[in-house]
Amino acid sequence: MMLQVAGLDAFYGQNQALHGVGFALDEGKVRTLLGANGAGKTTILRSICGTVRVRGDITFDGKRVSGWATEDIVRLGIAHVPEGRGTFVRMTVEENLQLGAMTRHGRREIAEDIERIYINFPRLKERRAQQAGTLSGGEQQMLAVGRALMLRPRLLLLDEPSFGLAPLIVEELFEILRRVNAETGVAMLIVEQNAALALELAEHAYLLETGRIVLDAPAAVIGADEAVRRSYLGY
């Protein structure tokens, strides 16, 4: 298992947001975290990245990363597309992509990767010299994903990629994610409110409620279970 989480507690100040969360993720697999607002999905991603105070075990590639600084965790090959995208708004699209590759060396490979991103996200290519802050929501999301991919990550963490996007764009985005996963074998952990789309992409899902995992099952199973869908996922 590439990523293993066990007995994870996370804290915002004195508030405990996660209680004994445990799950695992294998190379190249896509899994999704579902649940209502405030359930702790974003907190899990932040815990993996080291942005939040944690207690418990997070192991990546056999290394125990709980307690590491974010910069060091990122260098292991974990890329995070945060809530709100975290775009560098004052920099150009191209610069944002270059920043994604900050920890890598090899100018030619980086340039090739940028071209590859432009192929995947043609809209970004049109706007390569534009200030990132002027892009629309959908384009900024694409840029955020593109920037994360520039790291050539082994694990991609996506926090609500569909947030605030029109349904057509969301479908486009998820199609791209599927393609990227198929072509490069990058594992993905996706936090999503749009359960239907997430369950199509993922092979396994975890359902969170107030900081605990209440359901841990393959995506197909959850998708097929009407009772679960109706009471937890709202469709």
Partner 1 sequence: MELLQQQVMAGLANGAIYACMALAVVMIYQAIDHLNFAQGEMAMFSTFIAWQLMAWGLPYWIAFALAVVMSFAAGVVIDRVLFRPVQKAPILSQIVAFIALFSILNSSAGQIWDYTIKSFPTPFGHTPLFGGTLIDTHEAGMIGVTLVMLALLYVFFRGTRLGLAMRAAAANPESARLVGIRVGWMTALGWGMAAAIGAVAGMLIAPVVFLEPNMMLGVLLYGFAGAVLGGLTSPAGAVAGGFAVGIIENLAGTFIPYFGRELKLTFALIMIVVVLMFRPSGLFGRRVVSRV
Partner 2 sequence: MTSVPKDGIAVPQAEAVSAQRPLHARLTTRHLIITGTTIVALLIPLAAPGFMIFPLTEVMVYGLAILGLNLLTGFNGQFSLGHSAFYGIGAYTAAIMMHNYDISYFWTLPAAGAVCFAVGFLFGLPALRLQNLYLALATFALATAMPQILKFHLLEEWTGGVQGLPILQPDPPPFLPITTDQWLYYLTLGVILLMFAAAANLVRSRAGRAIMAIRDNPIAAAAMGINTSLYKTITFGVSALYTGVAGALSALVVGFVAPDSFTIFLSISLLVGLVIGGVGSIAGCLFGGLFVLYLPNIANSISTGLSGAIYGFILLLVIFATPSGASGFVRFARDGFSAPALDRARFLSVWFGISTYGVITLLIVKGAGLGKSSPLIFWITYTMIILGITGWQTIMAVKRLSDMRRSRWWGILLFVPPLNMLLLIALFCAKTRSHDTLTAI
Return the structure tokens found at 135. Answer: 């892009």
Check residue 92 for interaction with partner 1 (CB under 8 A).
no
Check residue 153 for interaction with partner 2 (CB under 8 A).
no
In the complex, minimum distance from the CB of residue 91 to partner 1, in angstroms, rounded to a whole number: 7
Q: In angstroms, rounded to a whole number, what is the distance separating the alpha carbons of residues 117 and 103?
A: 17
Q: Which of residues 202-221 bind partner 1 (CB under 8 A)?
A: none
Contact window for partner 1 (CB under 8 A) among 25-33, 68-76, 193-201, 214-222: 68-76
Check residue 119 for interaction with partner 1 (CB under 8 A).
no
In the complex, minimum distance from the CB of residue 147 to partner 1, in angstroms, rounded to a whole number: 7
Q: In angstroms, rounded to a whole number, what is the distance separating the alpha carbons of residues 143 and 132?
A: 8
Check residue 90 for interaction with partner 2 (CB under 8 A).
no
User: Exactly one of 32, 87, 120, 141 binds partner 1 (CB under 8 A); which one?
Assistant: 87
- Name the residue type at position 38: G
Check residue 215 for interaction with partner 2 (CB under 8 A).
no
User: Exactly one of 1, 4, 9, 51 binds partner 2 (CB under 8 A); which one?
Assistant: 51
Check residue 89 for interaction with partner 1 (CB under 8 A).
yes
Q: Contact at 8 Å (CB) between 32 and 219?
A: yes
Element (H, E) at 63: strand 63-64
Burial of 187 by CB count in 10 Å (0-12 exposed, 13-18 middle, 19+ buried)? buried
Check residue 52 for interaction with partner 2 (CB under 8 A).
yes
User: Exactly one of 22, 28, 86, 218 binds partner 1 (CB under 8 A); which one?
Assistant: 86
Q: Contact at 8 Å (CB) between 144 and 81?
A: yes
In the complex, minimum distance from the CB of residue 235 to partner 1, in angstroms, rounded to a whole number: 31
Q: Contact at 8 Å (CB) between 2 and 157?
A: no
User: Exactly one of 82, 138, 211, 223 binds partner 1 (CB under 8 A); which one?
Assistant: 82
Q: Which of residues 9-38 bind partner 2 (CB under 8 A)?
A: 11-14
CA distances from 162 to 78, 81, 94, 137, 180 (A): 20, 12, 23, 10, 17
In the complex, minimum distance from the CB of residue 101 to partner 2, in angstroms, rounded to a whole number: 26
Q: Which residues of 80-113 are buried (b: 16+ CB within 10 A; e: fewer)?
A: bbbbebebeeeeebbebbbebbeeeeeeeebeeb
Residues of the shown chain interacting with partner 2 in the complex, contacts defined by CB under 8 A: 11-14, 50-54, 67
Residues of the shown chain interacting with partner 1 in the complex, contacts defined by CB under 8 A: 49, 51, 69-71, 74-75, 79-80, 82, 86-91, 95, 98-100, 102-103, 131, 133-134, 147, 151
